[in-house]
Amino acid sequence: MLPAMLVALAVLGPIGCGSAGMSSGDTPRRTAAADPAKGRAAPAVSAPATEEGGFNATDRGWAQLMVPMNERTLLLLDLISDRASDSGLSDLARRTTVTHRAELTRLRAVLKDAGAAGTNPHEGHDMKGMVTDQELGTVAAKRGKAFDDASMTYLREHLEQTILVARGEEQSGAAPAATGLAEELRKRRAGQLEALGLLGG
């Protein structure tokens, strides 16, 4: 049985932390991933014990993952807002930036209330949905439609993985402040994915 505190990472499956990057001149790889639209739930695990304040290890693990995921994606969204050749894509990036920043405020509050403020166990990790410096460099080196296609690849990965880890939190989290936020993120990302799909991403 996987330790419950890692349930938020368990939904990443084989994606995990690793070094599956690519050179700055490569075309982004569309690696296989679960399809959030099919509604696949996170692996079933025993819920960890609830601690003082109503939080459990899953709540902390989920928030510790989501904070850097949002922070790194904001760097990508800034690039898209400034340089996308498709005005619809730049508009989506600007709207998504607003919601990601608002989410960060609430995610950091969860970390503080759960006693995990200021910790980032995923710093420097390379996992699907976490935009890396290398990926930002790959996107920044492109122009026009190639820029749009590359940026949409990484944005889609982020949105899809957020949905998967949110399901894990909803299933095994304890504190309403965390599980409720996870539900909001999951539903919001589904809408953002739909909007991205209409743009060809």
Q: What is the pLDDT of residue 63?
A: 94
Distance, C-alpha 54 to centroid of its chain: 24
Q: Give per-residue pLDDT as tens, 26-48.
A: 444 444 344 444 444 444 444 55
For 63-93, how does the pLDDT look when each residue is reduced to its tens digit (9 = 90+)? 999 999 999 999 999 999 999 999 999 999 9
Domain boundaries, the chain: 54-198
Q: Using 50, 70 and 90 to split pLDDT, how confident is the model at 3?
A: very low
Quote the pTM value: 0.76
pLDDT tens track for 91-117: 999 999 999 999 999 999 999 999 886
> In the chain, which ranges are continuous DSSP H helix?
7-10, 57-83, 87-113, 133-140, 144-172, 176-198
For residue 77, what are its two tokens?
A: 């969204």
3-state secondary structure of 4: helix
The reported pLDDT for the residue numbered 65 is 93
- In this prediction, residue 50 carries a pLDDT of 61
Q: Return the H-helix or E-strand segment holding 118.
A: none
Least confident of 8-22, 65-79, 88-102, 186-200: 8-22
CATH number listed for the domain at residues 54-198:
1.20.1260.10
Record the tokens describing residue 143, joined without a space: 């122009």
